[in-house]
Amino acid sequence: MRPGIALIGRLACLLAVLWIGCPALPAEAATTERIVVNRFSGVAIEGFDPVGYFVDGTAEQGTAEFEANLWGAVWRFRNEGNRASFLAHPEVYGPQFGGYDPADIARGVTVAGNPRFFAIVAQRLYLFSREANRDAFAADPERFLYEVGKRWPALQQQLSQ
């Protein structure tokens, strides 16, 4: 066997051992948008109906039949009534902090919220990147919102317009 081929084989084995043996690092969603959207479709909060959280108390998918464009994002709804409610009061129904996780913002980073992990506090919608963040926030929202208030303006400036 030629030395070059043997060396490539050893390197491939070493990389495979390192890849298999290393613990998985947590993946954080990264975006540079003021509203969390799908970068290919422009759809906000993965197409979930933001009004549905208030009306039904659950995370429900909207449809392309009932869409609205606002804040540079496409929003989807389950019906025309939800669409009209959102357009009349987007500041109420839209996710706070553009859909970024307030627990992560309180730590000084912007991580996209997952629309399946949500909380409504003081008639405002918050999305979280993981269930543990939602539970911690729900236990003491005032503490998190105080920290977010200190960090969000600077983080928001870093997001694209």
Q: What are the structural domain ranges in the chain?
A: 45-158
Amino acid at residue number 69: N
| Rounded Cα gap, residues 127 and 159, in angstroms | 18
Amino acid at residue number 20: I
Average predicted confidence (pLDDT) for the chain: 85
Residues 102-130: pLDDT tens digits? 999 999 999 999 999 999 999 999 999 99
What's the chain's length in residues?
A: 161
* Residue 86 DSSP label: H
Helices (H) and strands (E) in the chain, counts: 7, 4
pTM (global) more than 0.75: yes
Residues 51-80 have a mean pLDDT of 97
The set of residues, in sequence order, having a beta carbon less than 8 Å from that of 125 and lying 6+ positions away, is: 50, 53, 54, 93, 94, 95, 96, 118, 119
The pairing of beta strand 124-128 with beta strand 114-121 = antiparallel
Tokens of 29: 């969603």
Is pLDDT of 139 > 80?
yes
Amino acid at residue number 8: I
